[in-house]
């Protein structure tokens, strides 16, 4: 290790960009959230007024924001466990084989993760189409449906969750797979000699040793679902009847469609605080578990 | 022992079949998309659909490029993707700085970098728009690229990898009088090839797929990216599913090809990242 000025030259560009585009914007967002900034204020700063807590008081009385909060909670509560269970199960299954077939399957399950949300939405909009869509056509063979998928408030949220889970599995599966492959083979050999079957090995060796990966995936997935945006934005615009509106989409609409920057910023600060709280709780649980293990 | 082996084999076969079925279900939307992109819109609207097109046609793709502006969108997307590789270099430099030097403020600066991962895009969206607007960078390609150049996840992965490079090699080079830049470009970067590959692929995917930020920053159609163009197409030709499928296919296929070529590096990359 060398002490000199040169490390600063190496880190300076990246740090400067992060400061300008991540750190400073938080303080700007908090500041704007106490003002009535709108499109008029963008052209002429003197037309921005300090309004104190008005934005926050109004947003908590805003029925649409309440609906967006409810929907986001719904997405998080249903989506997060689904993503974790599905990607963990697939990673364990793929890890059973080493041949070409299994590595091909890895590519197959990863493919939705790397593809563009707009492209994917276009495809699913068609599959979900109530009259000419493929899904209802297939369901008609077993005398189910037709389901209205995206156009009925009672199924719209779940329809979006299906796509988002399908899309999220790949990356998390790879993280689990990398961690599984880091587990020493001897553990399984020893368990085999003791007569443990595959199922017992998964429960007693694989999952306990994946604790950190599961924690990592849980935190990143939670943060991701809190910011659920792309699918409702492209596919439903938050409808029908605001049934798919997420907090993130609410912020975007108020900010960039209604030009109520101050109001939208207040929404974004609330979202940020919610994410900090939930992540903090996760961290607490994680450190508690570590302490218990001594 | 033999029966144990047999049980093992049939178990593996069962898992294989299960994976195969799930895999077909997972990939099916893409298959449907690809085949539909060669159908006429009349055929797509048939009540009894079939996977394969009856008469394959390239008309949808031709329309995208000749009548709609997909050529321009493609050019913009490629420029943005190429520029985002500059960010890759900046992240590698920062990762090297954090991995191989001791300096004042190192720990809290690194914590700050990691903390930026928690900041939702929606919080920075409005302020960054206002910042770029005040310096006249809205509606430019620079404005689209700049905010995404440096990224905490990239810096973190580079640091993790570069921690494993031996210090002796660097010291030896310094004794020989090599400059810090020489060391970085001639020793560090070549040794870091595996992690550069992972980051390179992720950078390509990110640039190719970038959507929300170009949508916010670009008001003028001549700065649209492919995904923004596709979104526009969906709004304007909402009932022409064949055309939309062709646009979607054009966005998805390059990524799948790039990924299938490089996928083994990605898995290795996650291994070295030490997520355990």
A173-192 confidence digits (pLDDT tens):
988 988 888 888 888 888 88
Which among B97, B216, B273 has CB closest to A256? B216
With pLDDT > 70 as the criterion, what percentage of chain B qualifies?
94
- Residue B129: list chain A partners with CB under 8 A: 256
**Using 50, 70 and 90 to split pLDDT, how confident is the model at B3?**
low
pLDDT at B173 over 70: yes
| B43 → chain A, closest CA residue | A132
Question: Over its length of 294 residues, how does chain A's per-residue pLDDT go in tens digits?
Answer: 445 678 889 999 999 999 999 999 999 999 999 998 887 777 677 778 888 899 999 999 999 999 999 999 999 999 999 999 999 999 999 988 778 888 888 889 988 988 888 888 888 988 888 887 888 888 888 877 788 888 888 899 999 999 999 999 988 998 898 888 888 888 888 888 888 888 888 888 888 888 888 988 898 899 889 999 989 998 898 878 999 999 999 999 998 888 899 999 999 999 999 999 998 898 888 888 877 775
**Better-predicted residue by pLDDT, B39 or A63:** A63
A37 within some domain: no
Question: Residue range B13-18: average pLDDT?
Answer: 89
Q: Mean of the per-residue pLDDT values for chain B?
A: 85
**pLDDT score of B47:** 67
- Residue B94: list chain A partners with CB under 8 A: 10-11, 13-15
**Using 50, 70 and 90 to split pLDDT, how confident is the model at B276?**
very low
Q: How far is B204 from chain A (nearest CA, A)?
A: 10
Q: Domain B69-238: state its class.
A: mainly alpha
With pLDDT > 90 as the criterion, what percentage of chain A qualifies?
40
Are A1 and A100 in the same domain? no
With pLDDT > 90 as the criterion, what percentage of chain B qualifies?
22
**pLDDT score of A4:** 66
Q: How far is A258 from chain B (nearest CA, A)?
A: 13
**pLDDT score of A99:** 80
Are A19 and A149 in the same domain? no
Are A99 and A21 in the same domain? no
A49 within some domain: no
Is B276–A11 a contact, with Cβ atoms under 8 angstroms apart? Answer: no
**pLDDT score of A146:** 80
SS3 labels along B182-195: HHHHHHHHHHCHHH
Q: What are the sequence ranges of the domains in chain B?
A: 1-45, 69-238
A128 within some domain: yes
| A213 → chain B, closest CA residue | B276
Are A16 and A123 in the same domain? no
CATH number assigned to the domain comprising residue A218: 1.10.3720.10
A46 within some domain: no
This complex has an ipTM of 0.85
Q: How far is A209 from chain B (nearest CA, A)?
A: 8
Is B36–A264 a contact, with Cβ atoms under 8 angstroms apart? Answer: no
- Residue B228: list chain A partners with CB under 8 A: 118
A42 within some domain: no
SS3 labels along chain B: CHHHHHHHHHHHHHHHHHHHHHHHHHHHHHHHHHHHCCCCHHHHCCCCCCCCCCCCCCHHHHHHHHHCCHHHHHHHHHHHHHHHHHHHHHHHHHHHHHHHECCCCHHHHHHHHHHHHHCCHHHHHHHHHHHHHHCCCCCCHHHHHHHHCCCHHHHHHHHHHHCCCCHHHHHHHHHCCCCHHHHHHHHHHHHCHHHHHHHHHHHHHHHHHCCHHHHHHCCCHHHCCHHHHHHHHHHHCCCCHHHHHHHHHHHHHHHHHHHHHHHHHHHHHHHHCCCC
| A5 → chain B, closest CA residue | B103
pLDDT tens string B81-134: 999 999 999 999 999 999 988 888 899 999 999 888 888 888 898 899 989 988
pLDDT tens string B179-189: 888 999 998 99
Is A134–B118 a contact, with Cβ atoms under 8 angstroms apart? Answer: no
pLDDT at B50 over 90: no
Are A190 and A71 in the same domain? yes
- Residue A117: list chain B partners with CB under 8 A: 209, 211, 227
Are A205 and A269 in the same domain? yes
Is B167–A1 a contact, with Cβ atoms under 8 angstroms apart? Answer: yes
A258 within some domain: yes
Is B248–A29 a contact, with Cβ atoms under 8 angstroms apart? Answer: no
Look up the domain containing A18 and give its range: 1-32
Are A156 and A267 in the same domain? yes
**pLDDT score of B275:** 43
Are A28 and A68 in the same domain? no
Q: How far is B71 from chain A (nearest CA, A)?
A: 17
- Residue A96: list chain B partners with CB under 8 A: 11-12, 15
Q: How far is A75 from chain B (nearest CA, A)?
A: 16
Are A67 and A196 in the same domain? yes
**pLDDT score of A13:** 94
What is this structure's pTM?
A: 0.87
Are A156 and A23 in the same domain? no
Domain total for chain A?
2
Are A109 and A246 in the same domain? yes
């Amino acid at each position: 290790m060398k002490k000199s000025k040169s490390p600063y030259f190496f880190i300076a560009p990246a740090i400067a960009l992060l400061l300008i585009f991540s750190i400073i914007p938080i303080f700007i967002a908090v500041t704007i959230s106490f003002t009535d900034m709108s499109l008029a204020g963008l052209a002429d700063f003197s037309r921005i007024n300090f309004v104190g807590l008005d934005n926050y008081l109004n947003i908590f009385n805003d029925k649409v924001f309440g609906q967006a909060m409810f929907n986001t909670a719904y997405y998080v509560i249903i989506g997060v466990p689904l993503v974790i269970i599905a990607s963990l199960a697939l990673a364990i299954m793929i890890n059973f084989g080493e041949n070409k077939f299994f590595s091909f399957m890895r590519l197959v399950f990863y493919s939705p993760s790397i593809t563009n949300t707009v492209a994917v939405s276009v495809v699913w909009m068609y599959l979900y189409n109530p009259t000419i869509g493929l899904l209802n056509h297939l369901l008609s063979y077993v005398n189910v449906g037709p389901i209205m998928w995206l156009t009925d408030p009672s199924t719209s949220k779940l329809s979006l969750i299906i796509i988002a889970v399908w899309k999220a599995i790949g990356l998390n599966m790879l993280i689990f797979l990398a961690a599984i492959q880091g587990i020493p083979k001897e553990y399984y050999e020893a368990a085999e000699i003791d007569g443990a079957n595959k199922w017992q090995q998964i429960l007693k060796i694989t999952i306990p040793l994946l604790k950190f990966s599961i924690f990592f995936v849980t935190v990143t997935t939670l943060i991701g679902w809190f910011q659920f945006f792309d699918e409702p934005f492209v596919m439903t615009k938050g409808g029908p009847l605001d049934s798919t509106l997420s907090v993130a989409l609410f912020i975007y609409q108020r900010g960039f469609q209604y030009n109520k920057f101050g109001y939208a910023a207040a929404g974004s600060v609330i979202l940020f605080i919610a994410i900090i709280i939930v992540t903090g709780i996760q961290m607490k649980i994680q450190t508690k578990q570590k302490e218990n293990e001594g | 022992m033999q029966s144990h082996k047999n049980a093992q084999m049939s178990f593996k076969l069962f898992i294989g079949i299960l994976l195969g079925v799930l895999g077909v279900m997972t990939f099916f939307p893409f298959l449907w998309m690809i085949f539909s992109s060669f159908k006429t819109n009349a055929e797509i609207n048939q009540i009894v659909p079939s996977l394969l097109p009856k008469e394959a046609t390239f008309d949808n793709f031709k329309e995208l490029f000749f009548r709609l502006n997909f050529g321009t969108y493609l050019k913009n997307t490629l420029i943005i993707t190429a520029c985002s590789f500059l960010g890759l270099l900046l992240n590698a430099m920062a990762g090297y700085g954090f991995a191989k030097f001791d300096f004042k403020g190192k720990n809290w600066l690194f914590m700050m970098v990691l903390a930026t991962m928690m900041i939702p895009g929606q919080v920075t969206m409005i302020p960054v728009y206002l910042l770029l607007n005040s310096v006249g960078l809205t509606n430019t390609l620079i404005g689209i690229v700049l905010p995404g150049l440096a990224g905490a996840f990239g810096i973190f992965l580079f640091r993790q990898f570069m921690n494993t490079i031996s210090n002796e090699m660097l010291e030896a080079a310094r004794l020989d009088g090599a400059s810090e830049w020489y060391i970085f470009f001639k020793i560090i970067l070549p040794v870091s090839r595996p992690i550069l590959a992972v980051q390179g692929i992720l950078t390509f995917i990110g640039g190719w797929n970038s959507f929300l930020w170009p949508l916010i920053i670009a008001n003028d159609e001549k700065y649209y990216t492919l995904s923004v163009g596709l979104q526009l197409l969906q709004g304007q030709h909402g009932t022409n599913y064949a055309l939309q499928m062709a646009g979607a296919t054009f966005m998805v296929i390059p990524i799948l090809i790039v990924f299938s070529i490089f996928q083994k590096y990605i898995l290795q990359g996650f291994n070295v990242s030490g997520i355990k």
